[in-house]
Structure 1
């Protein structure tokens, strides 16, 4: 069984840029972009047992991430001047805040439930 996320399945908890939720189907989440650059959008496009794919958009920046397999996931660092991705084996615990960046972490779950974290500075 997956650990219970702090905000359950409440996508609305992410609108302030800080949340930990479980997702079982494609969702779109809007949250504050880094450095007050408007709103950013996280779209989970595919989800299944040990699988997640997503896209992040902020201004003219766009980043995609995807992971397959048990214990796999992706981290996206969203900054006002671009973003970066890192995918692979991930601990499902909350990532640390980063100055000037919104950190997005998505980890797969064996039961088709993925764990999403959004952490703002």
Structure 2
């Protein structure tokens, strides 16, 4: 479990570094006056990196969830079968008692 915070930190640091772009990188000296100036937006490379990291985390989470569900289902199938004797005992208690057995016919010598 100690590796999980390190992994999260390793994945988050590139995103933070790309998100904090300087204004000199986002502004262009030959830009048109009609184009809006982005004061703190992400660059295209930053958006791509953020998308890749978040997509990877989402895929990793989905695979983890599917693995967890598969293991849970496997364990449940192992510990719980379809035969339930307690259910039959409860059903037998509600049923009327069976008819008494008759004695077999007496055997006679010839």
TM value normalised by structure 1: 0.18
Larger radius of gyration: 2
Q: Which has the higher strand share?
A: 1
TM value normalised by structure 2: 0.19
Q: Which has the higher helix share?
A: 2
